[in-house]
Amino acid sequence: MAVLVGKEAPDFSAAAVVDGVDIVEDFSLSQFRGKYVILFFYPKDFTFVCPTELHAFQEKLDAFKAKNTEIIAVSTDTEQSHWGWLQMDKDNGGIEGVTYPIVADTNKTISYNYDVLAGDFYYDENDMLQAEGELVAYRGLFLIDRDGVVRHQLVNDLPLGRNIDEAMRMLDSLQYLEEHGEVCPANWSEGKEGMKATHDGVADYLSTH
């Protein structure tokens, strides 16, 4: 598993569905430099856990945008599949109402570059290329800062849904660090005090908590 934290997020250009209806052929990550990005991968359209995550991000989209943050989803399905799923209402298992971009990683290179592609390729005894396992994306999530650097990553196995509040907490932690120059201890959340990254700062923190 590649650790991308501290490294520049791999850029890409691919088709995506934007605002729930518009197919954009050359959607790129780099167009969002100067903003924070939460880039998350999910396995498949028209499934069970995936729509709960996509709807959960949509419910908090305004809160993320208020913090200068873009939400971008990626799966290995085609843009046509994304579009069709977006036209289905929630009661029927669809994701109608999701407005943030959903990228089509049809050739699986984005998932591969972020090292969240499940399954693997190999050559058999006849030198024929084969695939082992299903080549879909794990539930990867990457918090990318305004300079395009990955500051946090989390990867769940396919059946395990994510906590969107935790993604927000990590964003808040990063922005608190940038604004105050203080680190965030365990279970820190917005509104709590941080810590100065010195021995004196730790002592001050412990004396008041």
Name the band, by pLDDT with cuts 50, 70 and 90, for residue 206: very low
- Rounded to the nearest 5°, which phi and psi values hold at 162? -95, 165
pLDDT, one tens digit per residue, over 58-107 is 999 999 999 999 999 999 999 999 999 999 999 999 999 999 999 999 99
Positive or negative, the CA dihedral 170, 172, 178, 180 is negative
**Higher local confidence (pLDDT), 116 or 207:** 116
With a CB cutoff of 8 Å and minimum separation 6, the contacts of 71 are 37, 38, 40, 57, 61, 64, 100
Q: Please report the pLDDT score of residue 182 as a whole number.
A: 84
pLDDT, one tens digit per residue, over 30-42 is 999 999 999 999 9
DSSP state of 31: G
Domain boundaries, the chain: 13-161, 163-209
Flag whether pLDDT at 203 surpasses 80. Answer: no
The answer to which of 52-56, 65-69, 176-180, 192-196 has the lowest mean pLDDT is 192-196
Q: Please report the pLDDT score of residue 107 as a whole number.
A: 95
Q: Please report the pLDDT score of residue 1 as a whole number.
A: 65
Q: Where are the beta strands (DSSP E) in the chain?
A: 13-18, 22-28, 36-41, 69-75, 102-104, 120-123, 129-132, 139-144, 150-156
Give the mean model confidence (pLDDT) for residues 172-186.
90
Flag whether pLDDT at 205 surpasses 70. Answer: no
Q: What is the mean pLDDT of the chain?
A: 93
The answer to which of 59-73, 162-176, 181-195 has the lowest mean pLDDT is 181-195
Of the residues 4, 50, 71, 174, only one is catalytic, namely 50
Is 184 an active-site residue?
Answer: no
pLDDT, one tens digit per residue, over 19-29 is 999 999 999 99
| pTM more than 0.85 | yes
- The matching CATH number, chosen from 3.30.420.40, 3.40.50.1370, 2.60.120.620, 3.40.30.10, for 13-161 is 3.40.30.10
